[in-house]
Structure 1
Amino acid sequence: MELDEKTTLLVKISAAAATNALASLRSSMTDAKALGVPHEILRQTVELALEIQQQPYSHTQHLTDQLLREPVKKKTAREDGATPSLHVNGPSCGCGHHHHNN
């Protein structure tokens, strides 16, 4: 998927507004206006970015890290080198096998 030029400029405007990158905001807004993007769309884009900007950066970075993290495969006791614990079947163990040991 490839973004068209107008969409790319709206993303740049949003990012520039959210980060207070004024030179980039000026350049992107000028380019978007030259492409005929309506003023109301530009205004809405900036307002949305400023609304989103109110979220703390650390929360944004933490969520981004979580969403992009590769799933971690848990090691089995054998791979980990740990001694496996002895499992005792019972009504609260949750394995489902205690019904078959009567």
Structure 2
Amino acid sequence: MSLDQRTIAVTQISAAAACNALAALRLAVTEALTLGISSEEIQEILALAKDIQQQPISHVTHMIDQLFREQKKKTHEQSAHCDCGGHHA
């Protein structure tokens, strides 16, 4: 997969803001401005990242746990000898 410079800059800003990585955020914003991304667009990107950042971490943990359980169910092949407790046909 190949991403254009604008997409990379937006992703870097979002990731740096979400992680509170201030040095990386400074660099990403500077690069975005150099690429011609307006300060208004950057402010919008930051607003979205901050909105996401406000979600309680317990919700994130719950969702990840659920995704892992779903993935395990998809990859598990039930047999007469497994201990999964699932209903076997």
TM-score under structure 2 length normalisation:
0.73
Between 1 and 2, higher relative CO (CA 8 Å, sep ≥ 6) is seen in 2
Distance 1:39 1:19 in 2: 20
Matched, 1:79 2:81: yes
Match of 2:56 in 1: 56
**Counterpart secondary structure, 1:79:** coil
Match of 1:30 in 2: 30
Distance 1:57 1:3 in 2: 29
Match of 1:45 in 2: 45
Structure 1 residues without counterparts, runs of 5 or longer: 82-102
Deviations 1:32-81 (A, max 9, x none): 000101111111000000000011234324434516945232423x2338
Distance 1:37 1:10 in 2: 9
Alpha-carbon distance, 1:16 to partner: 1.0
Percent of pairs with identical residues: 40
TM-score under structure 1 length normalisation:
0.65
Which of the two has greater helix per residue? Answer: 2
Query: Stretches of 4+ moved more than 3 A in 1?
Result: 67-70
Structure 1 4/64 Cα, relative in aligned 2: closer, same or farther at 3 Å?
farther
- Counterpart amino acid of residue 79 in structure 1: H
